[in-house]
Amino acid sequence: MYQITLSIASFFMLFLGLFVFTRDVKRAVNKNFALLSASLSIWGFGMLALALVKNRDEAIACLPILHLGLVFGGPALFAFILSITEDKSKINRLLSMAGYTLGVIFFLLHLGGKFGSNVLCVAGYYRVVGEQISPYFNLFLCSLAFYSCYLLYKRYRISTSGTERNRLGYLFLGIFVATLSTLTNILRISGFDVYPLFHIGLLFFNAMTAYAIVRYRLMDITIIIRRALVYSILTFLTTGLWLSNVFIFSKFSVALSGYQTFFSIGVTALLITFTFLPVRNRIQSWVDTAFFAQRRELEDIIHEFGLTVSSSFNKEYILNSMIRTVLRIVDVEKISVMVINEAGDYPVSLSVGINSQSHGIRLNPSNHLIGWLVQNKRSLLRRELNENPDLRWVRDDLIQDMKAI
């Protein structure tokens, strides 16, 4: 059971990291999550190999794989947390660089036989033996992990966005449980006879991260789940389960009476009639609530806004309706709507959350921001200014325009 759970958790972690990385290969948060996933999956594969080998030489050969993921797991987690929380602190950036440097040092010490280079066979399974330098590495790993949890929880507490709080909440829960489960492996290496729970924590972290991505668009990743496909799979599984139960009941009835009776046939028909459809509908209702509630609400909001626009020609009324719609869909604190006038300029026509002085802002067609939006015909996110290399030539001008707004 340990090997099966560990293999599932490691493969799922690797798949999740590749999936997030391919969504946007230029974003720092995606790259850092991919590095974290690679470290944890390599660590998991190393532990899996150690659990499957049959002799000491094979066990020692697995140790470099295990330690390659282990020593970089903490630094990768810390770098990911700095990205997801948008932490720009110089001290934390230096700590991140120091973490990777120490990771390299610990791995070189392992290759040199000074750290985690020996194994012990207990009840037919091999495990790593702690050495003199192991307590220092354990302190290093735990410090990075718990400090990462603290930074994530701190960002969760100060966030005013409901969506962001949900994203960070599930992510924090997954990371914190995974960190606590890792302590059991550390205690085991230190000589305590405890069951290792890292594989359970890793599986839980995978589940929480995947759920936050699907439900709350963690890391701004949108996954479109086809409702019809989900319903088809659930119907297939429910049908198989019910037919199995009916078959078992029928065999049980035959075993008691010695032959097929109308009673068993009637009970079988009643089971299908009165239980199958209600259970299937209950499962579909739960799926709608768990995964499609926000999408259904979004469709209703957009439909309502469409009716508002089509029923009025008043510019102020339409702009107010548009702002209310944006506030309902997106968690933002400030909105400025700039509408072109007869002179070709873009003054602030309506706003929410900005000071009175900002109402005098007026952009003209020669402005860099206006020119970029007209040329590219798509939205421009502020974080793109720092992460998209294609914008490096006009970054300063665009930042100045955004600050003015």
Percent of the chain with pLDDT over 90: 21
Residue 116 has pLDDT above 90, yes or no: no
What is the second-level CATH architecture of the domain 2-220?
A: Up-down Bundle (1.20)
pLDDT in tens, 247-290: 666 666 666 655 555 555 566 666 666 666 676 667 666 666 66
Residue 351 has pLDDT above 80, yes or no: no
pLDDT bucket at 102, cuts 50 / 70 / 90: very high
Mean pLDDT of the chain: 78
pLDDT at 352: 74
Domain positions in the chain: 2-220, 227-291, 335-404
With 0.85 as the threshold, say if the pTM is over it: no
**Which is higher by pLDDT, 315 or 43?**
43
**Per-position DSSP letters for 257-286, written without gaps between them:** HSS--HHHHHHHHHHIIIIIHHHHHHHHHH
pLDDT at 170: 93
Interatomic CA distance for residues 238 and 225, integer angstroms: 20
Please state which of the ranges 74-78, 197-201, 214-218, 357-361 shows the lowest mean pLDDT: 357-361
Neighbours of 303 (CB within 10 A): 10
pLDDT at 175: 94
Please state which of the ranges 55-64, 204-213, 230-239, 361-370 shows the lowest mean pLDDT: 230-239
Pairing mode, strands 125-128 and 335-338: unpaired
pLDDT at 125: 75
Interatomic CA distance for residues 50 and 56, integer angstroms: 10
For residues 116 and 132, the answer to whether their CB atoms sit within 8 Å is no
Beta bridge partners of 120: 127
pLDDT at 250: 63
Residue 291 has pLDDT above 70, yes or no: no
Mean pLDDT of 396-404: 65
pLDDT at 216: 79
Interatomic CA distance for residues 299 and 124, integer angstroms: 58
- Distances in Å between the alpha carbon of 201 and those of 10, 162, 215? 11, 26, 21
Residue 227 has pLDDT above 90, yes or no: no
